[in-house]
Amino acid sequence: MSRFLPTRVAERLRRLRERFGEGVREREVDHDYDHLTSTRRRHAAVRTSFLGEIWWARREALNDWRPSRERSSHLPALVTLRAEDPRQPVEMAPGKSSVPQEIDELCFRPAEPPEGLWEGTVFLLPYRRPVFRQSITGPLGALGGTNMEELAKLLSMLWRPEEEGL
């Protein structure tokens, strides 16, 4: 950091670098912050993604290879692992409107879906996978409150090693 930066700017730069890494440049703080956090379409491919965000993602990126129908080339997808480095893929769970019975207990259904997401959307957590950011196109919303807590709890069940007797 330059010693000529005002204290206020230097402190903001330090906090941003703690949160987003060294990708935030000294002379481009506002520009880089915008790219790392903005949900604008042109920034989606390079932004930092956070747990609980919901995006439109290309179906092929979510391993859905069914023939494409009109306006069905994208699916809602839920970020299930925060990815700070914009060069890293984002782990996402695909959205569906109906759930196979055998995996019902490992799905996540938000109580109050964000605006733009239909009520019946379920995110299939067992099928989460890395998705390159170029396959993410537009924001749908983000979970909050008890929805985030429930999601974190379900993901911890999937991440922890299997315990004997379960």
**CATH of residue 115:** 2.30.30.110
Range of the domain at 61: 48-159
Q: 57 and 15: one domain?
A: no
Q: 129 and 85: one domain?
A: yes
Q: 33 and 75: one domain?
A: no
Under 8 Å between Cβ of 140 and 54: yes
- Cα separation, 45 vs 52, in Å, equals 17
Full pLDDT tens readout for the chain, 166 residues? 444 556 766 777 778 778 777 767 766 666 666 666 777 767 777 777 889 999 999 988 988 877 766 557 888 999 999 888 878 899 999 998 777 777 767 888 888 777 777 777 889 998 999 999 889 888 888 888 888 888 988 898 887 655 544 4
Structure tokens at 149: 């807590």
Under 8 Å between Cβ of 35 and 114: no
3-state SS class at 14: helix
Q: 99 and 144: one domain?
A: yes
